[in-house]
Amino acid sequence: MNDIVMPKPPLAPVVFDRSPGYWQTVGRRFTRDRVAMGAALVVAFLLILAVFGPWLVPADPYASSMLKRLKPIGFEGHPLGTDELGRDMLSRLMVGARLSLFMGITPVILAFVVGSLIGITAGYAGGTLNSVMMRTIDVFYAFPSVLLAIALSGALGAGITNTLISLTIVFIPPIARVAESVTTQIRGRDFVDAARASGANAFTIVRVHVLGNVLGPIFVYATSLIAVAMILASGLSFLGLGVKPPEPEWGLMLNTLRTAIYVQPWIAALPGVMIFITSIAFNLLADGLRTAMEVKQ
């Protein structure tokens, strides 16, 4: 008797999970935000100007001419006029973008690294170590940022390096507080408890499970501080505690042009307009990133 061969059941089709990941979703949400994309384009343009500006200037930004002092906007050979020493304003604004952005971004990056390290350590450790570290941070956080920056710059002296140190110290406390708050929330999640129960050490838990969840919110908050850093750096230069002449920095240009406000008010306002546009662009960029990362909402 022949064996009866049963037909094999058809193979189940293989279904691939094509759902987008978290960062892909964030990217899509960000690109759909027209305001955030417009701010990102402005920031990208300013960064390109800061990098390539010295090679694109139409005139020497340091060459002065007493015969061309305070020429109006649209003057022949000077589309944005000249300053109090006859220097081309367009060239000085283009070259000044490098130093102004450098003074705004660098202290925030340094404070992001140091403040995140302090906040994550305090938030994950908890207990006495958290109290000691955060109460020390609160001492600096108690002072208004403007007064603290002026006091530190006055004690250290004028100059680019001292200004960077002062602004970095100013921004470490708020970033550390945000990092500590976010880390404290993540520390109580189930996946952290499961990793701890499986025998993972503290360094592994922080590196694998904590950093990926806390760096995003800290980065978004730090991005919003770039505008504040630029305003503070410009204010220090305006007071004579920041960049020294004849370097073209927007805050310093405001200081040197303040006496010309009654003669050429539009010329005197140009550095302030650049500071305003840059600050608004970074703030809108930070808001767009914050909205895009709130995927659950």
The domain spans of the chain are 91-293
3-class DSSP assignment, residue 189? coil
pTM: 0.83
Q: Under CATH, which number does the domain 91-293 receive?
A: 1.10.3720.10
Radius of gyration of the chain (CA): 26
User: Tens of pLDDT along the chain (297 residues)?
Assistant: 455 555 555 544 544 445 566 668 878 888 888 998 999 999 999 999 989 988 888 888 888 888 888 888 888 888 998 988 889 999 999 999 998 899 889 999 999 999 999 999 998 888 888 888 888 888 888 888 888 888 888 888 888 889 999 999 999 999 999 999 989 888 878 888 787 888 878 788 888 778 878 888 888 889 889 888 888 888 888 888 888 888 888 888 888 888 888 888 888 899 989 999 998 999 899 888 888 877 554
d(CA 77, CA 73) in angstroms, rounded, equals: 10
